[in-house]
Structures are given as C-alpha cells and as structure tokens.
Amino acid sequence: MALVETLREEWKTRIQKDCAGYSPMVHGGILNWLMGKDESLLNQVDSAHLQVICQGMDFRYRILLQRYLGVSPDRAYRQLMQRLGSLVMVRNKIKAWVAVSRDRQRSVLDVLQEIIQEMLHSDRYMQQQSDWITQCTNNLRLRNALLLTSLEEYCLRPIRNQPLLSFRFVNYLRRTERGGLTQVPAGDLIRIVSEEFSADEGETTVSLIDYQAVTVYQDGQVWEEQQAHRLSVLSEFITYLEHHVDATAAQWLKLYLNGFSQEAIAHQLGMDIKQVYRLREKVGYHAVNVFAVKVKPELVTQWLGTSVQEHSLGLTPDQWHQYWNSLPPQQQEIIGRLRVGKTFDNIAQELNLKLHQVLREWSRLYLAAQDLRQAS
C-alpha cells in the first residue's frame, strides 16, 4: 500500500492548500473521489498507466476548482452547459440535425440538456460515478460539484479526435429516430439464439445487444490508448528539446503543460517575458515543423489520428480527393508509397532521391494536409 498511501498524502496536502477555506469533511470528500473506489488497483498498474491515471486525476481536480467548487447548483449547471456548448464540433452537428428535423425551434442548449439527462439516467459509467460520489460525501453541494465535474471530464474525453459527447449525440439520434431493445431483464431466463429477433411477422428485427455498454467499454479502451500515445510523444519531445534545442525550452514546455501562464513561467525561469514568448514560438516551430515531420512522424500521427495509412492524414474523403488532385506527380508517388507501408529510406531508393529530399517533400505534404484540416 506504499504507493497508494504516498499518492493519497500528496493529494491531501494539495487539497488542503488549494481549498483552505473549506472544512476537513470537504477535503476528505474530494480526496476520496479523486482516489477512486478501489485504491488497491493502483498498486497493480505499470508506471506508464499510473502516469495516465495521475494526469486524469489532475485534470478532473482542475475542472472542479475552476468551475464547480463553491458555486451554486444553478450557476454550476449553466457553466457546464456553456462549456459543452462551446465545443464547435458538437454544436455544429446539433445545429445541422435541428435544421433538418421536424422541430426546428429547438436550440443547441435544449438538445444538449436532453443528452446530458439521458447520460445521467442510463450511462453506466455516470451511474457508477454518481453512486461513488454519494459514498464519498454527505454534503449535497459538494456532491453536485463532483458530479458535474465528472460529467464534464467524461464528455470531453477524446475518442478518435472527437470529444466523447459527439458520439453520445450520435447515439441519441439513433434512439430518438428508431426504437430498440437494449437491455434484457435480469430476472428472466432467455435463450438467445441470435443477436436479433423478429418483432413481428414482417422483416423488422430488434437487437438484443446492449450497444451502449459496448460503446462505453470501447471508448474507455481508446481513451487509455490515446493517453499512452500522448505520454510517449510528450516524453520523446521533451528529450528532443533537451538534446537538440535548449534545456530551458523543455522546462518551458513542462510548466506550460502544468497550466502556468507565460508571466508565471517567466517568473519561474527568471527570464524576461519577451524571452519567454520567443521561447514559446521556438518550441511551437520545432513541434510542428521538425519533430512531427522529420524526427518522430509515425509516433505523432498515430497519436493525433492523422497517419497516412490508417487515417488519410486526418482528412475526410472529400478533403482527401481535393488534396490528392492538388499534388504534383512526385508527391503523389511519395504519398502512395507511404500508404502501403514504405519507409522514407525505401522511398528515397525507389525514386532515386536523397533521404533529405524525401523528408522535405513529406514536410510539405504534412503541412498542406494540416492547413486543409484547419481550413474546414
């Protein structure tokens, strides 16, 4: 239990410092909520997985402090709706659906509220979180704050480069546009011959599979995988900055990712604010134009879901068609070989080019695809 106790003590100290104006009961409730229902599981995970868990705890804690702790329930709920409604991808999807639906008077907020209420009542993960929060504290105001924090964090989880809320909206559309049996009563003995059965004499069938439970599990697996990719990219990029740019640049990145403002970073590093802004530009340049393109392109594209082979550089089919037609023959040759798994060395040999020439063309190809994604 040494690891769990150490982690608990660290969080206890941090909560007491950040929430000095609250009672020890509130401190204890927040601590229990962050540590989770089964703390002993933390002793069984490897270091990489533990780091992902700790980052998740820190993310949830910062959401709690920024938006929900000490705020009235009505205001906290409004802030949740504003935060989720600010997601451009989700808002545009809802607007497009409302525009073609029969009820065009509904607002984005109305639809969001329905999705959130449905998640609270039927999503297994949120039900488990609600039960656990009830066990953590008897303070109704704190329970509300913890529940809204859990809800926001859950909705923002990145799944295939989209927030989980976007997929919950798709599930909501499926349920509102056609009915279906998703749960089988636990007390009844049913022999399932197929995953579907005929509802009547016609061809209509009803699925017996709980697709929502499958989706929750798959979303969780994808989220964990993405976090592992993120940590790997972060570790490699920090090492790259330390060895090829400047150790101060690596320190800037660590402080920036921990939520420090540029002024706070300048104070921490003992630098002039103008130097810090120049340092930010240098790190950004190396991240986009060097590390992601020339040093570790496979690692970065796998994390971002923009690989050539699996994700077509993150472009939609229409964008890919437009992108491909805009390329000269040599660049099309390079992209075509990358899509079938050729390495840069292989491509250089096959096209009778120098390696640096292939890497230069790849840099142009990658940045052009990035511009196209951002323009849409």
Banded model confidence at residue 199, pLDDT cuts 50, 70, 90: very low
Across the chain, mean pLDDT equals 76
Contact 274, 281 (CB under 8 A): no
Tens-digit pLDDT profile for residues 264-296:
888 888 889 898 888 888 888 888 778 877 777
Angle at 211 between CA 209 and CA 212, to 5 degrees: 135
- Return the CATH architecture of domain 308-376: Orthogonal Bundle (1.10)
Query: Is pLDDT of 65 > 60?
Result: yes
Using the 8-state DSSP alphabet, how is residue 40 labeled? G
Banded model confidence at residue 198, pLDDT cuts 50, 70, 90: very low
Residue 212: name the closest of 156, 153, 172, 185 by CA: 172
Rounded CA separation 272/267 (Å): 8
* Distance from the first to the final alpha carbon of the chain: 50
Tens-digit pLDDT profile for residues 20-32:
888 889 999 999 8
CB atoms near residue 22 (< 10 Å): 17
Higher-scoring residue by pLDDT: 85, 66: 66
> Span 25-43, mean pLDDT?
83
CA trace torsion 159, 163, 165, 170 (10° rounding): -60
Tens-digit pLDDT profile for residues 104-157:
455 667 777 888 888 888 888 888 888 999 999 888 889 999 999 988 888 888
Contact 354, 348 (CB under 8 A): yes
Contact 52, 224 (CB under 8 A): yes
Residue 374: name the closest of 322, 330, 314, 307 by CA: 314
**What is the residue extent of each domain of the chain?**
2-177, 308-376
Rounded CA separation 55/235 (Å): 14
Alpha helices (H) along 123-261: 124-136, 140-156, 164-177, 211-240, 247-257
